[in-house]
Amino acid sequence: MKKFFKDPKNLRWKVLFTVIVGTFLGRLDQTIVNLALPKIISDFSITVSSASWIATAYILANAVFVPVWGKLGDTYGQKKIYIIGFLLFILGSILAGLSWSLSSMIVFRIIQAIAGSADYPTAMAILVITFPPGRERAQAMGLWSSSFAAASVFGPLLGGPLIDNFGWRSVFLLNLPVGIVGILLAMTFVRESEKKKKEHRFDWWGAIALGIALSSLVLVLDKGLDWGWLSVSSLLSYFSILLFVYIFIRIEYFHKDPIVDLKFFKNKVFVTVLMNNFIVFMTMMGSVFLIPIFAETYLGYDATQTGYLFIPMAFALMVAAPIGGNLVGKIPARTVIMASTFIASFGLFLFSYLDPRSSAMTIIVPLIVMAFGIGFGMAQRTNIIASAVPQKEVGSASSVLALARNIAGAFGIALFGTILQNTINSNVMQIAQNSVVRSTDPGVLKTVTALIILKAQVASYDYVFIVAAIIATIGGISAYWIKVQHESTEKVFVE
């Protein structure tokens, strides 16, 4: 038995299982909490608009602290930071489960978000340290990536019964036993990474400047449609973004140990993969955000039925991610990434056939196609990012990748939401101008007006998905400039 536990090969897969538990728990929490919002709104006697700050505060805190945790892991050791993040997440979960008002809930969700943002950069760095370069590492990345999808599957399946039988507080308190298991696994199997020599102080001023810039960005992306993109609040946010991005760049340029090393952006492979990743997640999250609205507004589904539509999508992600990882060394990485992005764009295009008579399969099939395409290239993108930078900087580099995904999601939701609203307004005017009603009956006029609005809205959804498919296709083309010289040596360059 001792020999089994000491065998490096066996230990590697135990480490993989350990980080999968942590990643699964964090993503599961996000999925279940969304289901609990109606009960929280009822218990706290708050409005839907007020409750949206529970999600907005989480997104803001999560986005801000991802690069901070990535740098702390590189500086002080990945295992130590991973366990600290886990402990804080459990604490935040318990406090959220005991919250007594909207204000307390927001504060405790921020604690959860800060802690949860430690998972991605430290988990990825732990896998890079644990698995040797080549196919085995890519397979591990693929399996780890599939845990994101697994959480999406189990979220609706576990969340509904928990909330219905034990109340909304149970979804937070569930994290305590699972979190304890995750910490014990990490303490037992994960080995500490090599720490940087502490010759310089941690870049706190850079972290603060980046935090303010990201907070302003995510806030205006989340609230801009409600505020108005040219409102005073939005304009102040734009000014804050520009000012603190400038300050951040100046700080990073002169700091001897910056929180985000600007030399990453001189690496053409890193930038190209980051750009492809941004486009893919922007189109996926921005368009998927619209699907529940369409299903519940035009198809008459309730929230539970709509949630079930996404379960096949999650399974497609789980299947596709390991397949993509297994192709490392067999097919050029750029070919896999290009193909995966084109498949995803085709899935987005299939959504353009939606109408009020659509069946569930009309939504499920495009979701499966899109998810398979995204999952198929996920491990390849992650593997290339890990290969394009020195091992001691993987945490920082992966935090930039995670940050880009968060921003891409917020940007996609804001972009496609705005396109949808503007297109609806334009279509209503155009259809009304080209319509002739030969009746003055108020009932007939009311029916015609409703039909014009319905046609304008449905046509606008179709237009948005076509735009998303075109953008995703451009992202696939951009992957052409990525080239891996030799998968086994993990050396990457751009032609």
One domain for residues 120 and 267: no
Q: How many domains does the chain have?
A: 3
Model confidence over 322-359: pLDDT tens digits? 887 777 767 888 888 889 999 999 999 999 888 888 88
Q: Are strands 483-486 and 491-493 parallel, antiparallel or unpaired?
A: antiparallel
> CB of 214 within 8 A of CB of 64?
yes
Cα-based distances in Å from 189 to 22, 386, 450: 13, 21, 62
One domain for residues 151 and 216: no
One domain for residues 274 and 208: no
Residue 247 has what pLDDT?
Answer: 92
One domain for residues 177 and 36: yes
User: Looking at residue 178, which CATH number applies to its domain?
Assistant: 1.20.1250.20
Structure tokens, 146: 């599939």
**How long, in residues, is the chain?**
495
One domain for residues 266 and 241: no
Cα-based distances in Å from 213 to 63, 92, 132, 314, 398: 11, 25, 37, 33, 19
| 3-state class (DSSP) for residue 192 | coil
One domain for residues 33 and 166: yes
Phi, psi angle pair for 285, to nearest 5°:
-70, -35
One domain for residues 318 and 441: yes
One domain for residues 144 and 286: no
One domain for residues 102 and 210: no
One domain for residues 137 and 213: no
Among 199, 217, 245, residue at a domain's last position: 199
Model confidence over 68-98: pLDDT tens digits? 887 787 778 888 888 898 899 999 999 999 9
Can you tell me the distance from the alpha carbon of 83 to that of 121, in angstroms, rounded to the nearest whole number? 13
Residue 492 has what pLDDT?
Answer: 41
What does DSSP assign to residue 483?
E
Domain range for 125: 1-199
Q: How many C-beta neighbours within 10 Å does residue 320 have?
A: 26
Closest CA to 154 of 287, 279, 48, 29: 29
Can you tell me the distance from the alpha carbon of 143 to that of 324, in angstroms, rounded to the nearest whole number? 10
Residue 304 has what pLDDT?
Answer: 67
What does DSSP assign to residue 344?
H
Residue 442 has what pLDDT?
Answer: 64
One domain for residues 191 and 220: no
One domain for residues 245 and 356: no
Segment-wise mean pLDDT, segments of 10 residues, the chain, 495 residues: 51 84 78 75 76 74 78 80 89 91 87 84 81 74 72 71 82 86 86 61 79 81 78 90 91 79 79 84 79 78 73 82 76 85 93 86 91 82 74 71 76 79 77 64 62 73 89 88 55 38
